[in-house]
Amino acid sequence: MATKMDAYWMPFTANRQFKQSPRLLAKSSGMHYWTPEGREILDGVAGLWCVNAGHARPKIVQAIAEQAAEMDFAPPFQMAHPKAFELAEKLVEITPAGLSKVFYTNSGSESVETALKMAIAYHRVRGDGARTRLIGRERGYHGVNFGGISVGGIVSNRKMFGTLLAGVDHIRHTHDLARNAFSVGQPEHGAELADDLERLVTLHDASTIAAVIVEPVAGSTGVLLPPKGYLERLRAICDKHGILLIFDEVITGFGRTGQPFAAQTFGVTPDLMCVAKGITNGCVPMGAVFASAKIHDAFMNGPEHLIEFFHGYTYSAHPLACAAALATLETYADEGLLTRAAQLQGYFADALHSLKGLPNVIDIRNIGLVGGVELAPLPGEPAKRAFNVFLDCWDQGVLVRTTGDIVALSPPLIVEKPQIDRLVGTLAAAIKRCA
Ligand SMILES: Cc1ncc(COP(=O)(O)O)c(C=O)c1O
For the Cβ of 183 lying below 6 angstroms from any atom of ligand 1, the answer is no
Q: Which atom of ligand 1 is nearest to the CA of 111?
A: 4
Q: Residue 3: pLDDT band by 50, 70, 90 thresholds? A: confident
**How far from 327 is each of 135, 152, 398, 400, 414, CA to CA, in Å?**
36, 32, 28, 27, 16
**Rounded CA gap, 308 and 34, in Å?**
47
The candidate with the shortest Cα–Cα distance to 256, out of 229, 278, 280, 236, is 278
C-alpha triplet 123, 271, 368: angle, nearest 5°:
155
State if residue 250 touches ligand 1 by the CB under 6 angstroms criterion: yes
Atom of ligand 1 nearest to the CA of 287: 10
How many percent of the chain have pLDDT more than 90? 99
Q: Which atom of ligand 1 is nearest to the CA of 49?
A: 14
Asked if residue 136 lies in contact with residue 161, where contact means CB atoms within 8 angstroms, the answer is no
In this prediction, residue 1 carries a pLDDT of 54
Given a cut of 70, whether residue 431 has pLDDT beyond it is: yes
What average pLDDT is seen over the chain?
98
Q: What is the mean pLDDT of residues 56-75?
A: 98
Cα torsion 341, 346, 348, 353: sign: positive
Query: Residue 180 Cα, ligand 1 centroid: separation in angstroms?
Result: 26
In this prediction, residues 48-66 reach a mean pLDDT of: 98
Q: Average pLDDT in the 78-94 region?
A: 98
Decide: pTM greater than 0.85. Answer: yes
Q: What is the DSSP letter of 4?
A: P
Q: Taking residues 271-276, what's their average pLDDT?
A: 98
User: Does ligand 1 lie within 6 Å of residue 108's CB atom?
Assistant: yes
Choose which residue among 220, 254, 313 to substitute to test ligand 1 binding: the one with the highest number of ligand atoms within 8 A of its C-beta: 220
Residue 375: the pLDDT is: 98
The answer, yes or no, to whether any atom of ligand 1 lies below 6 A from the CB of 410, is no
